[in-house]
């Protein structure tokens, strides 16, 4: 007599599982909901796995908040910008040399990164095959098996983005091994980027504020470039990074919890004669499965640690691998926190009153 009740109970359980499985779809799934593809998730979310935090697939954040929509009347150094490490080393672009035996750091191409809110790119530039290429190195040189593609191709993607988004600013950090005289200047010119160039002569000295974002936009000086090659500031007018930026250790050396120290080329993080703070948070070798954990709670913890080490200054740039991988809010939540602190002293930029020119938090968010 008990069998029908057991079967009925089992049917209820099966129905509940099916109902839960199909609880949302077609762009209705919210942050943290289970999903089967990106199409299930709401705008600004993507469907990803994160085995360290949950089973299966869930909707997680995949785009940034536009901090300039809250206020654009502050100096450039009073905002935070999502930065991709080795932006060029992504899974999308095809082979250009017939073979590639090197590691990847991102899933999206540069155009997709920019469209998702990345505003600073880290590129490694080399002389190769009579031109300027983006490349990983082996033995300090670019090879067929470590090369990605011509630098001008990626720079044209940046130009197209700036052309189509006239209120946006893009920053480049170049790990620069180009020895060809004026080689970088030529490729920037050929890519059509000089009309957006922010000149070294306008960059602040001794820790002063940068120009206001709205003024940079009005003057169309929306392309900020830093090089690791000191000589190029004088010879090509490309800013030497460590005259203006402090930066923590990158790779495994910089991944110790509770620690945050400057990389060798950088001044100490608490040197306030440099107006910009760049924080790296990635391992020496990128693994997609590790990025989920790296880009979650440990990232927030690192930013808190580096705030203290940087003389109580929040990071302006936060550089990561596989930027869309996390257990939920990820790097996008981290940048929201940075911008909230920089703009209005709150832990979330959404607490800042849109359009306000003062350090004001939304009362509804703080209650």
Torsion of CA 166, 281, 122, 90, to 10 degrees: -100
Question: Strands, E, within the chain: which ranges?
Answer: 45-50, 54-61, 81-84, 120-128, 131-135, 147-150, 170-177, 223-227, 239-240, 245-247, 276-280, 317-320
At 139 the pLDDT is 85
Does residue 3 register a pLDDT over 80?
no
Does residue 172 register a pLDDT over 50?
yes
Q: What are phi and psi of 132, to 5 degrees?
A: -105, 120
Q: Where are the domains of the chain?
A: 22-62, 65-345
**Residue 23: burial class (beta carbons within 10 Å; 0-12, 13-18, 19+):** exposed
pTM of the model: 0.90
pLDDT tens profile 196-238: 999 999 999 899 999 999 999 999 999 999 999 999 999 999 9
Does residue 7 register a pLDDT over 80?
no
Contact between 78 and 343 under an 8 Å Cβ cutoff? The reply is: yes
At 361 the pLDDT is 66
DSSP H or E run through 314: none
Going 180 to 191 to 75 to 111, the CA torsion angle's sign is: negative
Q: Does domain 65-345 correspond to CATH entry 3.20.20.190? A: yes
Count other Cβ atoms within 10 Å, centred on residue 82.
Answer: 22
Distance between CA atoms of 25 and 36, rounded to whole angstroms?
A: 8
At 21 the pLDDT is 52
Does residue 240 register a pLDDT over 50?
yes
Q: What average pLDDT does range 239-244 have in this prediction?
A: 98
Distance between CA atoms of 208 and 224, rounded to whole angstroms?
A: 17
């Amino acid at each position: 007599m008990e069998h029908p009740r057991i079967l009925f109970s089992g049917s209820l359980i099966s129905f509940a599982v099916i109902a839960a499985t199909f609880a949302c779809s077609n762009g209705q799934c919210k942050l943290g909901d289970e999903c089967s593809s990106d199409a299930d998730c709401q705008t600004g979310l993507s469907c990803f796995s994160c085995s360290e935090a949950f089973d299966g697939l869930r909707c997680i954040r995949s785009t940034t908040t536009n901090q300039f929509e809250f206020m654009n009347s502050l100096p450039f150094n009073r905002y935070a910008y999502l930065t991709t490490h080795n932006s060029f080393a992504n899974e999308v672009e095809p082979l250009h040399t017939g073979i590639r035996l090197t590691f990847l750091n991102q899933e999206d191409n540069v155009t997709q990164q920019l469209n998702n809110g990345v505003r600073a790119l880290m590129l490694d530039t080399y002389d190769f095959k009579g031109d300027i290429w983006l490349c990983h190195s082996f033995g300090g040189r670019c090879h067929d098996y470590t090369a990605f593609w011509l630098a001008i191709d990626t720079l044209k993607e940046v130009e197209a983005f700036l052309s189509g988004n006239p209120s946006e600013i893009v920053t480049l950090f170049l790990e620069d091994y180009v020895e060809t005289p004026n080689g970088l200047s030529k490729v920037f010119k050929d890519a059509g980027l000089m009309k957006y160039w922010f000149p070294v002569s306008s960059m602040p000295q001794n820790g002063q504020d940068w120009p206001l974002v709205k003024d940079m936009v009005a003057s169309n000086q929306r392309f900020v470039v830093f090089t690791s090659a000191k000589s190029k500031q004088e010879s090509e007018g490309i800013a030497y990074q460590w005259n203006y930026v402090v930066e923590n250790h990158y790779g495994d050396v910089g991944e110790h919890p509770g620690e945050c120290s400057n990389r060798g080329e950088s001044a100490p993080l608490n040197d306030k004669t440099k107006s910009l703070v760049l924080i790296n948070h990635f391992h020496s070798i990128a693994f997609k499965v590790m990025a989920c954990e790296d880009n979650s709670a440990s990232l927030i913890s690192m930013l808190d640690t580096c705030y203290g080490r940087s003389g109580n200054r929040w990071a302006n740039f936060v550089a990561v691998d596989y930027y869309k991988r996390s257990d939920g809010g990820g790097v996008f939540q981290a940048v929201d926190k940075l911008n909230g602190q920089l703009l209005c002293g709150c832990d979330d930029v959404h607490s800042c009153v849109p359009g306000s020119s003062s350090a004001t938090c939304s009362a509804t968010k703080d209650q």
